[in-house]
């Protein structure tokens, strides 16, 4: 499931698998039949991500915007023998005919006929003769004109992998520190910075020993700059490995091991009541704007 790293991975994989190809698009579930028809049999020009938004641009000038929301997912199946890679060692070693993008990438029955029957509620299927991508459970899946794509993009805060230079960094600092809302809320605000979700929010705050309830405007620019750089680093790593790994207290060997199980990847996320990995205090969990906020009351509260 998706925070910004997952969507960049999807964009990278689709660029590799689909860019330059004519796609057959349809909606097995039926809820996106009209939209799919508008791009079907067109050539995919590009697949790009900004934060949690995926844009698939076609040569008829239309784009599909996909937002996975809280439980959306892509499943990619490739005919054995022509499977492309998402670029990570894990993908390469899998070499599987089927891959689920996100944390769990698993193999399936190699005897399955190709293309496989859509399973469950598939909103959109994209097909070439040797590759199939199934989209299920998105919060958004719509066809946009170039102007509409620009409008969506303009509402988004900087993404470290899109706005790589100084401008992105300065924009982030300006937006972050210009509101008195709690920093725990502001880091999740996609108009301030793109791609951070509930896991990265909690982990980044912990990594900087920050009280989630501090007014965002109280952060000095050095702290803000450090947050941006850290997010950039975590995002890069997440895109590379496909996994959100945020711990800094592990040797490389332990880290590799911890990648495999979500129980060991995080400092605080999902660990309410368990001992802080740094000070041993029980991790707290509060509801912040309907989302679960995890933090260490000793390391982070001032």
Q: Known catalytic residues? A: 2-3, 52, 291
φ/ψ of residue 168, rounded to 5: -60, -45
What x-and-dash track marks residues 174-213 binding DNA by CB under 7 A?
A: --------------x-x------xxx--------------
Task: Tell me if 283 sits within 8 A of 273, measured CB to CB.
Answer: yes
Q: Token pair for residue 298?
A: 């000793």
Q: Give the residue with the Cβ less far from DNA, 139 or 256.
A: 139
Q: Give the residue with the Cβ less far from DNA, 17 or 199.
A: 199
Q: Under the criterion CB under 7 A, does residue 263 sit at the interface with DNA?
A: no
Q: Give the residue with the Cβ less far from DNA, 130 or 230.
A: 230
Q: Token pair for residue 170?
A: 């300065």
Pick one of 1, 182, 258, 301: the residue that binds DNA (CB under 7 A).
1
Q: Under the criterion CB under 7 A, does residue 158 sit at the interface with DNA?
A: no
Q: Give the residue with the Cβ less far from DNA, 22 or 262.
A: 262
CA–chain centroid gap for 172, Å, is 19
Task: Tell me if 206 sits within 8 A of 300, measured CB to CB.
Answer: yes
Q: How far is the CB of 72 from DNA (least distance, A)?
A: 7
Q: How far is the CB of 123 from DNA (least distance, A)?
A: 5
SS3 assignment, position 73: strand
What x-and-dash track marks residues 115-154 binding DNA by CB under 7 A?
A: ----xxxxx------------xxxx---------------
Q: Under the criterion CB under 7 A, does residue 102 sit at the interface with DNA?
A: yes
Task: Tell me if 27 sits within 8 A of 124, measured CB to CB.
Answer: yes
Q: Give the residue with the Cβ less far from DNA, 59 or 107.
A: 107
What x-and-dash track marks residues 32-71 binding DNA by CB under 7 A?
A: -------------------xx--------------x-xxx
Q: How far is the CB of 18 from DNA (least distance, A)?
A: 22
Please report, as residue ranges, which positions from 219 to 238 form the binding site for DNA (by CB under 7 A).
none
Q: Token pair for residue 228?
A: 């941006």
Which three-class secondary structure string do you get for 20-48?
CCEEEEECCCCCCHHHHHHHCCEEEEEEE
Pick one of 16, 103, 171, 230: the residue that binds DNA (CB under 7 A).
103
Q: Under the criterion CB under 7 A, does residue 244 sit at the interface with DNA?
A: yes
Strand partners, 141: 66
* Gap between the terminal Cα atoms of the chain: 33
Give the separation between CA 141 and CA 125, rounded to whole angstroms.
12
Pick one of 262, 264, 278, 301: the residue that binds DNA (CB under 7 A).
262
Short-list 118, 119, 135, 120, CA closest to 66: 135
Q: How far is the CB of 82 from DNA (least distance, A)?
A: 25
How many Cβ atoms are within 10 Å of 170's Cβ, its own excluded? 16
Pairing mode, strands 140-144 and 63-67: antiparallel
Q: How far is the CB of 148 from DNA (least distance, A)?
A: 13
- Kindly calculate the radius of gyration of the chain based on its CA atoms and give it in whole angstroms: 20
Size of the site for DNA (CB under 7 A): 36
The half-sphere exposure of 234 on its side-chain side, counting CA atoms within 13 A, is 27
Binding stretches for DNA (CB under 7 A): 1-3, 6, 29, 31, 51-52, 67, 69-72, 102-103, 119-123, 136-139, 188, 190, 197-199, 244, 262, 270, 289-292
């Amino acid at each position: 499931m998706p925070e910004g790293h997952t969507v960049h991975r999807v964009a990278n994989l689709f660029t590799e698998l689909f860019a330059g190809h004519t796609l057959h698009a349809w909606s097995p579930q039926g809820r996106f039949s009209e939209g799919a028809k508008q791009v079907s049999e067109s050539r995919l020009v590009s697949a790009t991500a900004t934060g949690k938004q995926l844009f698939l641009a076609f040569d008829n000038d239309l784009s599909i915007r996909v937002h996975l929301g809280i439980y959306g997912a892509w499943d990619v199946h490739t005919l054995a023998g022509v499977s492309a890679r998402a670029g990570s060692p894990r993908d390469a070693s899998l070499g599987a005919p089927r891959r689920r993008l996100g944390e769990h990438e698993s193999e399936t029955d190699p005897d399955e006929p190709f293309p496989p029957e859509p399973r469950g509620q598939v909103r959109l299927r994209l097909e070439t003769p040797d590759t199939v991508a199934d989209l299920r459970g998105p919060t958004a899946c719509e066809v946009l004109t170039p102007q509409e794509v620009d409008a969506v993009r303009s509402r988004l805060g900087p993404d470290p992998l899109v706005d790589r230079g100084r401008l992105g960094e300065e924009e982030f600092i300006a937006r972050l520190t210009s509101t008195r809302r709690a920093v725990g809320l502001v880091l999740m605000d996609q108009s301030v910075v793109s791609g951070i979700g509930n896991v990265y929010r909690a982990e980044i705050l912990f990594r900087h020993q920050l009280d989630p309830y501090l007014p965002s405007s109280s952060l000095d620019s050095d702290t803000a700059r450090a947050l941006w750089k850290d997010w950039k680093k975590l995002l890069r790593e997440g895109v590379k490995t496909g996994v959100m790994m945020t711990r800094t207290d592990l040797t490389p060997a332990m880290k590799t091991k911890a990648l495999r199980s979500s129980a060991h990847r995080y400092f605080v996320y999902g660990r309410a009541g368990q001992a802080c990995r740094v000070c041993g205090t029980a991790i707290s969990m509060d509801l912040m704007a309907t989302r679960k906020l995890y933090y260490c009351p000793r390391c982070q509260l001032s």
